[in-house]
Amino acid sequence: MSETDPRETAAELFRQAYEFQANGDYQQAIECYSRSITAYPTAEAHTFRGWAYSFLGDYERAIAECFEAIKLDPEFGNPYNDIGAYLIEQGKWDDAIPWFEKAMVAKRYEARCYPHFNLGRVYEHKNDWRKAKECYAAAYAIDQRYLAALAGMRRQLARLN
């Protein structure tokens, strides 16, 4: 009788959790992410469990999950960006800035356009149109399919004219 690799079990539970989350069943997603973490803790599972908590409006737990993710893998960019996004949701715009800056330089991060875009949101909120435009332009340069960044850039250009 062979033992199942805990990483494989965790990966399967993570996949199930992601499907639940994609279908809007956040409580079931949280349960599967929790079981995945029990089987084999990863920064991804903590970050995504935090994301599920955020959909329920529980930003404190979402942020706590991101801190756990950072402890496991400080080079993973997602939790830094997510902390910043959750702080924005709480109206803590200035507190979000360093988190987006950390996400931008994280070594392991595939969605690099998001922290630039989110930092643009902060500067737009602060009425700093030039910095907002620069951030949106950077996000769009990274991913030209990211139309929200293009819209943000154009909005700031219109304000500057």
Per the structure, the complete domain to which residue 160 belongs is given by 111-161
- The predicted-structure confidence for 22-41, as pLDDT tens digits, reads as follows 999 999 999 999 999 999 99
- The predicted-structure confidence for 60-99, as pLDDT tens digits, reads as follows 999 999 999 999 999 999 999 999 999 999 999 999 999 9
Domain count, the chain: 2
Residues 6+ apart with CB under 8 A from 105: none
> Pick the residue with more confidence: 91 or 159?
91
Q: What is the CATH number for 104?
A: 1.25.40.10
- One domain, residues 102 and 117: no
Would you say residue 148 has pLDDT above 80?
yes
Would you say residue 2 has pLDDT above 50?
no
Question: What DSSP letter does each residue of the chain carry, written as one string?
Answer: -PPPPHHHHHHHHHHHHHHHHHTT-HHHHHHHHHHHHHHS--HHHHHHHHHHHHHTT-HHHHHHHHHHHHHH-TTBSHHHHHHHHHHHHTT-HHHHHHHHHHHHH-SB-S-THHHHHHHHHHHHHTT-HHHHHHHHHHHHHH-TT-HHHHHHHHHHHHHH-
pLDDT band at 1 (very low <50, low <70, confident <90, very high): very low
Integer Cα distance of 63 and 50 in angstroms: 7
- One domain, residues 3 and 64: yes
Integer Cα distance of 99 and 107 in angstroms: 14
Count how many residues are written for the chain: 161
pLDDT of 25 reads 98
- One domain, residues 28 and 99: yes
- One domain, residues 17 and 93: yes
Integer Cα distance of 157 and 134 in angstroms: 10
Would you say residue 47 has pLDDT above 60?
yes
b/e per residue 122-140 (b: at least 16 CB within 10 A): bbbeeeebebbbbbbbbbb
Domain finish residue from 109, 128, 147: 109
Q: What is the mean pLDDT of the chain?
A: 96
pLDDT band at 160 (very low <50, low <70, confident <90, very high): confident
What's the whole-model pTM score? 0.94
- The predicted-structure confidence for 97-137, as pLDDT tens digits, reads as follows 999 999 999 999 999 999 999 999 999 999 999 999 999 99
